[in-house]
Amino acid sequence: MDLVLFSIGVVGNVISVLMFASPITTFWRIIQSRSTGDFEATPYVVTLLSSSFWVYYGVTKPDAFLVATVNGVGAVLEAIYVFLFLLYAKPPQRMKTAALVGGLDVGAFGAVFLVTWFGIHHESARISVIGTIGAFLNILMYGSPLAAVKTVINTKSVEFMPFFLSLFLFLNGGVWTAYAILAQDVFLGIPNGIGFFLGLIQLVIYMIYKNRKASRNSNETVEENQQPLI
Protein backbone atom coordinates (compact mmCIF):
# COMPACT_ATOMS: atom_id res chain seq x y z
CA MET A 1 0.00 0.00 0.00
CA ASP A 2 2.83 2.41 0.90
CA LEU A 3 4.51 1.80 -2.46
CA VAL A 4 1.25 2.31 -4.36
CA LEU A 5 0.53 5.49 -2.40
CA PHE A 6 4.04 6.81 -3.02
CA SER A 7 3.83 6.00 -6.74
CA ILE A 8 0.49 7.80 -7.11
CA GLY A 9 1.94 10.75 -5.21
CA VAL A 10 4.92 10.94 -7.58
CA VAL A 11 2.62 10.86 -10.62
CA GLY A 12 0.51 13.56 -8.96
CA ASN A 13 3.64 15.67 -8.43
CA VAL A 14 4.54 15.48 -12.12
CA ILE A 15 1.03 16.41 -13.28
CA SER A 16 0.76 19.21 -10.73
CA VAL A 17 4.05 20.74 -11.86
CA LEU A 18 2.78 20.69 -15.46
CA MET A 19 -0.42 22.38 -14.30
CA PHE A 20 1.51 25.06 -12.39
CA ALA A 21 3.73 25.60 -15.43
CA SER A 22 0.84 25.98 -17.90
CA PRO A 23 0.73 29.84 -17.69
CA ILE A 24 4.37 30.13 -18.81
CA THR A 25 3.32 30.91 -22.40
CA THR A 26 1.03 33.68 -21.15
CA PHE A 27 3.85 35.28 -19.19
CA TRP A 28 6.26 34.92 -22.07
CA ARG A 29 3.82 37.07 -24.06
CA ILE A 30 3.75 39.57 -21.18
CA ILE A 31 7.55 39.73 -21.10
CA GLN A 32 7.78 40.21 -24.85
CA SER A 33 5.17 42.98 -24.89
CA ARG A 34 6.39 44.41 -21.55
CA SER A 35 2.76 44.82 -20.55
CA THR A 36 0.14 42.73 -18.73
CA GLY A 37 -2.59 44.20 -20.92
CA ASP A 38 -6.05 43.22 -19.66
CA PHE A 39 -4.85 40.15 -17.79
CA GLU A 40 -5.73 39.91 -14.10
CA ALA A 41 -3.34 38.92 -11.32
CA THR A 42 -6.01 37.56 -8.97
CA PRO A 43 -5.86 33.88 -10.08
CA TYR A 44 -2.08 33.81 -9.56
CA VAL A 45 -2.25 35.58 -6.20
CA VAL A 46 -4.89 33.11 -4.98
CA THR A 47 -2.98 30.09 -6.32
CA LEU A 48 0.18 31.35 -4.57
CA LEU A 49 -1.79 31.55 -1.33
CA SER A 50 -3.24 28.07 -1.88
CA SER A 51 0.17 26.57 -2.62
CA SER A 52 1.64 28.22 0.48
CA PHE A 53 -1.04 26.70 2.70
CA TRP A 54 -0.48 23.24 1.18
CA VAL A 55 3.27 23.52 1.79
CA TYR A 56 2.47 24.35 5.41
CA TYR A 57 0.01 21.44 5.53
CA GLY A 58 2.57 19.06 4.02
CA VAL A 59 5.33 19.91 6.49
CA THR A 60 2.89 19.82 9.44
CA LYS A 61 1.19 16.50 8.72
CA PRO A 62 3.33 13.37 9.08
CA ASP A 63 4.11 11.51 5.83
CA ALA A 64 2.73 14.30 3.63
CA PHE A 65 6.04 15.45 2.18
CA LEU A 66 4.88 14.79 -1.41
CA VAL A 67 2.16 17.39 -0.87
CA ALA A 68 4.75 19.84 0.41
CA THR A 69 7.26 19.30 -2.39
CA VAL A 70 4.92 19.81 -5.33
CA ASN A 71 3.26 22.83 -3.77
CA GLY A 72 6.69 24.23 -2.97
CA VAL A 73 7.42 24.16 -6.70
CA GLY A 74 4.00 25.66 -7.36
CA ALA A 75 4.56 28.46 -4.84
CA VAL A 76 7.88 29.38 -6.49
CA LEU A 77 6.31 29.47 -9.98
CA GLU A 78 3.29 31.47 -8.80
CA ALA A 79 5.60 33.92 -6.98
CA ILE A 80 7.46 34.45 -10.26
CA TYR A 81 4.17 35.07 -12.10
CA VAL A 82 3.08 37.60 -9.47
CA PHE A 83 6.48 39.32 -9.60
CA LEU A 84 6.16 39.68 -13.38
CA PHE A 85 2.73 41.22 -12.88
CA LEU A 86 4.16 43.75 -10.45
CA LEU A 87 6.98 44.46 -12.89
CA TYR A 88 4.96 44.95 -16.08
CA ALA A 89 1.52 46.09 -14.94
CA LYS A 90 0.37 49.69 -15.31
CA PRO A 91 0.45 51.72 -12.04
CA PRO A 92 -3.25 51.22 -11.09
CA GLN A 93 -3.07 47.49 -11.77
CA ARG A 94 0.31 47.26 -10.01
CA MET A 95 -1.12 48.89 -6.90
CA LYS A 96 -4.11 46.53 -6.96
CA THR A 97 -1.83 43.50 -7.32
CA ALA A 98 0.47 44.72 -4.54
CA ALA A 99 -2.54 45.19 -2.25
CA LEU A 100 -3.75 41.64 -3.00
CA VAL A 101 -0.31 40.17 -2.35
CA GLY A 102 0.06 42.13 0.88
CA GLY A 103 -3.42 41.30 2.11
CA LEU A 104 -3.60 37.63 1.08
CA ASP A 105 -0.19 36.09 0.48
CA VAL A 106 1.53 37.98 3.29
CA GLY A 107 -1.21 39.15 5.66
CA ALA A 108 -3.70 36.26 5.57
CA PHE A 109 -1.11 33.51 5.37
CA GLY A 110 1.04 35.14 8.06
CA ALA A 111 -1.94 35.53 10.40
CA VAL A 112 -3.06 31.92 9.98
CA PHE A 113 0.50 30.68 10.44
CA LEU A 114 0.98 32.64 13.67
CA VAL A 115 -2.41 31.60 15.09
CA THR A 116 -2.07 27.90 14.21
CA TRP A 117 1.60 27.60 15.15
CA PHE A 118 1.54 29.49 18.43
CA GLY A 119 -2.15 29.34 19.38
CA ILE A 120 -3.06 25.74 18.52
CA HIS A 121 -0.88 23.24 20.35
CA HIS A 122 -2.59 20.02 19.29
CA GLU A 123 -1.15 18.79 16.00
CA SER A 124 -4.41 17.21 14.82
CA ALA A 125 -6.36 20.45 15.38
CA ARG A 126 -3.66 22.45 13.61
CA ILE A 127 -3.76 20.09 10.62
CA SER A 128 -7.56 20.36 10.48
CA VAL A 129 -7.50 24.16 10.38
CA ILE A 130 -4.77 24.33 7.73
CA GLY A 131 -6.40 21.58 5.68
CA THR A 132 -9.82 23.24 5.74
CA ILE A 133 -8.42 26.56 4.52
CA GLY A 134 -6.29 24.81 1.89
CA ALA A 135 -9.28 22.80 0.64
CA PHE A 136 -11.38 25.96 0.24
CA LEU A 137 -8.61 27.72 -1.70
CA ASN A 138 -8.07 24.63 -3.85
CA ILE A 139 -11.73 24.66 -4.88
CA LEU A 140 -11.37 28.32 -5.88
CA MET A 141 -8.26 27.43 -7.90
CA TYR A 142 -10.02 24.60 -9.73
CA GLY A 143 -13.10 26.73 -10.34
CA SER A 144 -11.33 29.78 -11.76
CA PRO A 145 -11.06 28.42 -15.35
CA LEU A 146 -14.86 28.01 -15.43
CA ALA A 147 -15.04 31.72 -16.20
CA ALA A 148 -13.92 30.75 -19.70
CA VAL A 149 -16.82 28.29 -20.14
CA LYS A 150 -19.37 31.09 -20.58
CA THR A 151 -17.10 32.70 -23.16
CA VAL A 152 -16.76 29.40 -25.03
CA ILE A 153 -20.52 28.89 -25.14
CA ASN A 154 -21.22 32.48 -26.21
CA THR A 155 -18.54 32.58 -28.92
CA LYS A 156 -18.70 28.89 -29.85
CA SER A 157 -14.90 28.96 -29.83
CA VAL A 158 -12.34 27.33 -27.52
CA GLU A 159 -9.66 29.90 -28.38
CA PHE A 160 -9.53 31.18 -24.82
CA MET A 161 -9.91 27.80 -23.14
CA PRO A 162 -6.57 25.99 -23.60
CA PHE A 163 -6.98 22.24 -23.93
CA PHE A 164 -3.87 21.26 -21.97
CA LEU A 165 -4.80 23.38 -18.97
CA SER A 166 -8.21 21.70 -18.80
CA LEU A 167 -6.57 18.29 -19.29
CA PHE A 168 -4.03 18.85 -16.51
CA LEU A 169 -6.75 20.09 -14.14
CA PHE A 170 -8.74 16.92 -14.87
CA LEU A 171 -5.74 14.61 -14.42
CA ASN A 172 -4.46 16.46 -11.37
CA GLY A 173 -7.84 16.23 -9.65
CA GLY A 174 -8.17 12.53 -10.47
CA VAL A 175 -4.70 11.49 -9.33
CA TRP A 176 -4.80 13.44 -6.07
CA THR A 177 -8.32 12.15 -5.35
CA ALA A 178 -6.98 8.59 -5.67
CA TYR A 179 -4.06 9.53 -3.42
CA ALA A 180 -6.44 11.05 -0.86
CA ILE A 181 -8.65 7.93 -0.80
CA LEU A 182 -5.69 5.65 -0.15
CA ALA A 183 -4.22 8.06 2.41
CA GLN A 184 -7.67 8.63 3.96
CA ASP A 185 -7.14 12.37 3.73
CA VAL A 186 -10.45 14.21 3.46
CA PHE A 187 -8.78 17.62 3.07
CA LEU A 188 -7.08 16.46 -0.12
CA GLY A 189 -9.99 14.34 -1.30
CA ILE A 190 -12.84 16.86 -1.31
CA PRO A 191 -11.24 19.71 -3.31
CA ASN A 192 -9.49 17.39 -5.75
CA GLY A 193 -12.65 15.34 -6.26
CA ILE A 194 -14.47 18.57 -7.12
CA GLY A 195 -11.52 19.57 -9.33
CA PHE A 196 -11.73 16.24 -11.17
CA PHE A 197 -15.43 16.85 -11.87
CA LEU A 198 -14.89 20.48 -12.97
CA GLY A 199 -12.01 19.44 -15.21
CA LEU A 200 -14.26 16.82 -16.81
CA ILE A 201 -16.89 19.50 -17.53
CA GLN A 202 -14.27 21.68 -19.21
CA LEU A 203 -13.03 18.80 -21.37
CA VAL A 204 -16.58 17.93 -22.46
CA ILE A 205 -17.28 21.54 -23.42
CA TYR A 206 -13.95 21.71 -25.25
CA MET A 207 -14.82 18.62 -27.29
CA ILE A 208 -18.26 20.03 -28.12
CA TYR A 209 -16.96 23.36 -29.42
CA LYS A 210 -13.45 22.57 -30.66
CA ASN A 211 -14.42 22.38 -34.35
CA ARG A 212 -16.75 25.37 -34.36
CA LYS A 213 -15.79 28.83 -35.50
CA ALA A 214 -16.49 31.92 -33.49
CA SER A 215 -18.23 34.91 -34.97
CA ARG A 216 -16.10 37.99 -35.55
CA ASN A 217 -18.12 40.16 -33.18
CA SER A 218 -17.96 37.55 -30.45
CA ASN A 219 -14.21 37.28 -30.78
CA GLU A 220 -13.79 41.03 -30.50
CA THR A 221 -15.80 41.01 -27.32
CA VAL A 222 -13.75 38.17 -25.87
CA GLU A 223 -10.47 39.89 -26.69
CA GLU A 224 -11.61 42.98 -24.85
CA ASN A 225 -12.41 40.95 -21.75
CA GLN A 226 -9.73 38.29 -21.96
CA GLN A 227 -8.39 37.09 -18.63
CA PRO A 228 -5.96 34.31 -17.74
CA LEU A 229 -7.10 31.03 -16.36
CA ILE A 230 -4.54 29.83 -13.83
Give the model confidence (pLDDT) of 165-203 as tens digits: 788 889 999 999 999 999 889 999 999 999 899 889 888
Half-sphere exposure of 199 (CA within 13 A, CB side): 25
Rg (alpha carbons) of the chain, rounded to whole number: 18
**Chain mean pLDDT for the chain:** 84
Helical ranges in the chain per DSSP H = 2-21, 24-33, 42-60, 65-88, 91-100, 109-114, 123-143, 147-155, 163-183, 186-209, 216-224
Is 192:134 a contact under the CB 8 Å cutoff? no
Q: Which of 59, 77, 65, 63 is nearest to 20 (CA)?
A: 77
- Identify which has the larger pLDDT, 216 or 167: 167
